[in-house]
Structure 1
Amino acid sequence: MDDCLLLDAGSGGRASQRLVAQCFLRHFANPLLERLDDAALLEDLRGPLAMSTDSYTVTPLFFPGGSIGSLAVHGTVNDVAMLGARPRYLSCAFILEEGLSLATLERVAADMAQAARAAGVRIVTGDTKVVPRGACDKMFINTTGIGEVFTAPAPSGHNARPGDAVLISGALGDHGLTIMGSRENLSFLTDVASDSAPLNRMIAEVIAAAGQVHVLRDPTRGGLATTLNEIAEQSGVSIDIEEERIPVHEAVKNGCSFLGLDPLYLANEGKCICILPEARAEAALAAMRASPHGAEAARIGTVGNGKPGWVALRTRIGGQRLLGMLEGAQLPRIC
C-alpha cells in the first residue's frame, strides 16, 4: 500500500479490496466478517434484541485514554448495554479523507480491534468510503451494535419511579475535559484522561446483583445534568441530587473552574446512571464498585414526585438550584 489514502481506495475496485484486506480484515478478522458478503449472517441470537447506532467525529483522533477507534466501540457497546442487553456484534463504516496517513488508519483499526476484544464483541460487517480532501476532517466512523436483552422488563428512561435511588458509576467530566485539553494543547490539563471504557460486563453484574433496574443511561453529550433532565421528562418525575455526593476528580474541578465549565454538563464515555428501587441500591453499588470501571460509584440522589421534568441540585452550602437541559454544546466534536 501507499503511505496515504488515495480516492481509488474508496472505489469498490482492487484498491478498495487491498485496503480492506491489508488493514481491516487483518485487525478485525473473524469468520463472519471474512465471508465478505453484503451483510453478516447471525444465526445464534435469541429473544428480544437491542440495537443502537452512533457516529463518531471526535477531534483530535487520539487523546489521553483513547482514540476515535476505541471510542467508536465503547460508545456503541455501552448504548446497547443500557437496555439490559449483552452486546454481541458490531458493524463499522468509515468515511476517510483523501491523503489520510495509512499509519493513522492502521493505528485506529488496531485500537478498535483491541476495544472489541476487551468488550467481548465482534465486528462482523462494514463499509469504507474515501472522499476528496476537505470533504471530511480526516476520519468519521459509524458503528452499529446488536445484542440480546437478558432482563425483563428492559431498563428504560420511562421507568423511573418516585422513591428510586439515583446512582452514578464514577467520577464525571473526564472525557469532555480531556478532549478540550488535547485539542487546545492546554498544559494544565495533562493529569486528565478520558474515561472511555466498555461497561457491558459491569452492567450485567449490576442487574444480576440488584435483580431489578428501572433506568440505565450513559451521560455522554450534555453530561449528567442533561441526561437526568431527559429521564425526568420521559418518566414524568422530579429528580433531586446532592452536589457533595457527586464524584468529580480534583483535576477536573480545577480545570473546569479555570475554564468556566460545569462538570455536570461535560461528556462522559465510561460512566452510567442507574436508577432502581431504594431497597436494591446497596447491592447495585457493591456490584459497580467490584468492577474496575465502577470503583468510584456513588449514590447521588433520589427520584421525587415534584414537578415533572425538574432536576434539582442541593449545593454544598445547603442551597438549591435547578439544573436545566444543556441548550447547545459546551464543547463541539467530543465524540
Structure 2
Amino acid sequence: MTLSIDKPTSKKPPRLRDKTITLAHGSGGRAMQDLIEALFVQAFQEGPANALEDQARIPLDELTAQGDRLAFTTDSFVVDPIIFPGGDIGTLAVNGTVNDLAVSGAIPRYLTCAMILEEGLPMQTLRQVVASMAAAAKQAGVAIVTGDTKVVPRGGADKIFINTAGIGVMRTGVTPAAVHIQPGDVVLVNGPIGNHGATIMVARGELSLETDLQSDCQPLNGLVDAIVSVCPEVKAMRDATRGGLATVLNEFAESARVGIRLIEDQIPVDDAVKGLCELLGLDPLYLANEGKLVVVVPPEQAEEVLAAMRSHPSGTQSQIIGQVTEGQWVSLKTAFGTERVIDRLVDDQLPRIC
C-alpha cells in the first residue's frame, strides 16, 4: 500500500464485504487492492492529495522552508491488548512516532504505516485501528503518506503489528541532546507518570481489578512547540516510554556524565497508579508512558518553561521534579528525607507495552 502525494484518486472506492482478514488480503490481487482502496486510502486521504504509486513524493521546498535538516525515525508496535482504555495500537503507532520526532526538536510532517495482519482479524477491529490512526494524525498535524500491508496465517502474529516511520524538519538553532546537560540544569515532566503501563496491566484482565485508569497516549509536538518558543536553548527532551521516567533519566546521566537528583514529593503520580503499584510491589518511576515528556533546561529559564508547559493542554500538570548534579547516578530524595539510588530497569515489568 502506498499513498503518493502527487495527484488525487477519483474513482469510487470498492466495498469491503469480508468480515475478517483472509490470506487473500495479502496476496497482491484484487482482495488486497480493495482493502487498500476502501480502507487505508479513504482513512488517510486527510493529508495531501494521493495516488496509488510505489512511493510518496515529498516537495523539498515545503521542508526546507521550515528548517535546515531532516529528522527521521522508525518504531514498531506490538501492544497487548491492541485496544485499551484511552487508545489502541493505532493511536500508539502515530503518537509514538510523532513524539520521537518532536523530542529531537523536529517539526513532524510525514509518516509511513506498515501493517502485519493475522488471518482472521475482524475487519471491524482493523477499521477501528485505522480510524484511530487517521484521527491521531489529524490531531498531530501530520500526514500518513505511504505504507505496506502483509497478511500472515493464523498464529503467525498476534492480531496486528504496526511499523511506522516518520520524517520531520529540524528547527534552525534547536538541537536538544543529552550531551548538552550540565550540573545546575533543571528537570521537568509534563504530568502524572505511569498511567499507560498501569492501564495496560489492568486491561489484560489478569488482576480482576476495576479502575478508571486510561492511557496517557497523546501527541507531544504542540507541547514541544510551546517549550522551544520560550527556550530554544533547551538542553534535552525525551518521551518516557518503555522503562519509564527512571530509564530516561539514567540515559541522560550516562550520556552527559552527570548526576540527577529527584524530589519524590514533586513527581506527579495519580492515586490509582500509586495504589496499583503498592498492591503489586511496582515502582511508578519504571512504568511506561505514551504522553509524557522529560525536559532539561537551564536553571534561569526553568520557571518560564514551566509556565509555558502549563499553558498547553498536554502540560497542565507539569512539574519541576529535580536538578542535575555532579556525579554519574540518579538519586531520589524520598518523602521521609532519605535518599536512594534510582538505577536502570533490570528486567521488563510488563512485556508488549507498546
Give the TM-score, by structure 1 length.
0.97
Q: How far 1:122 moved relative to its partner? A: 0.4
CA drift of 1:227 comes to: 0.9
**CA distance in 1: counterparts of 2:174 and 2:230, whole angstroms:** 16
* Partner of residue 328, structure 1: 347
For 1:1-335, list aligned pairs within 5 A. Answer: 1-30=17-46, 32=48, 34-43=50-59, 44-46=62-64, 47-184=68-205, 186-306=207-327, 308=328, 310-335=329-354
Post-superposition shift, 1:321? 0.6
Q: How far off is 1:188 after superposition?
A: 3.4
AA partner of residue 9 (structure 1): H
Gaps of 5+ in 1: none
Q: Secondary structure of 2:71's match?
A: strand
CA drift of 1:41 comes to 0.7
Distance 1:33 1:73, change over 3 A: farther
- Residues 212 and 280, structure 1, Cα contact 8 Å, conserved in 2: no
* 1:151 CA displacement: 4.2
Distance 2:49 2:112 in 1: 10
Q: CA deviation at 1:37?
A: 1.7
Return the letter of the residue paired with 2:216.
Answer: D
Query: TM-score by structure 2 length?
Result: 0.92
Separation (CA, whole Å) in 2 of partners of 1:11 and 1:275: 49
Rounded to whole Å, the distance in 2 between the matches of 1:138 and 1:126 is 18
SS in 1 for 2:340: strand
Q: Distance in 2 between matches of 1:153 and 1:263?
A: 31
Q: Distance in 1 between matches of 2:256 and 2:27?
A: 48
Query: Structure 1 residue 259: deviation in Å?
Result: 1.2
Structure 2 gaps, min length 5: 1-16
Q: CA deviation at 1:210?
A: 2.0
The answer as to whether partners of 1:173 and 1:252 remain within 8 angstroms in 2 is yes
- Aligned-pair CA distance for 1:246: 0.2
Which amino acid letter does the alignment assign opposite residue 94 of structure 2?
A: V
Deviates more, 1:180-189 or 1:108-117: 180-189
Give the CA deviation at 1:260: 1.2
CA contact (8 A) 1:210 1:281 kept: no
The answer on whether the counterparts of 2:173 and 2:232 sit within 8 Å (CA) in structure 1 is: no
Worse-superposed segment, 233-242 or 177-186: 177-186
Distance in 1 between residues matched to 2:275 and 2:210, nearest whole Å:
9
Shift of 1:160: 1.0
Q: CA deviation at 1:34?
A: 2.4
Structure 1 residue identity aligned to 2:333? R
Deviation per residue, 1:282-309 (Å, 9 max, x gap)? 1111111111111110001001112x2x
Q: Is the 8 A contact 1:189 1:251 kept in 2?
A: no
Once the 2 structures are TM-superposed, how far is the Cα of residue 31 of structure 1 from its aligned partner? 6.4
Q: 2:47–2:144: 8 Å Cα contact kept in structure 1?
A: no
Alignment check: 8 A CA contact 1:7 1:98 kept: yes
Count matched residues.
333
Classify 1:33/1:139 alpha carbon distance in 2 versus 1 (closer, same or farther; 3 Å).
Answer: farther
Q: Whole-Å Cα distance in 2 between the matches of residues 192 and 15 of structure 1?
A: 39
**Secondary structure, in 3 states, of the residue corresponding to 2:251?**
helix
RMSD between aligned residues? 1.2
Q: Which runs of 4+ in 1 moved over 6 A?
A: none
Are residues 179 and 325 of structure 1, via their aligned partners in 2, closer, same or farther at CA, if it must alter by over 3 Å? Answer: same
Counterpart residue type for residue 24 of structure 2: D
CA distance in 2, matches of 1:149, 1:170: 26
Q: How far, CA to CA, are the matches of 2:27 and 2:209 in structure 1?
A: 44
C-alpha displacement of 1:36 = 1.8
Instruction: Name the CA distance, whole Å, in 1 between partners of 2:58 and 2:303.
Output: 38
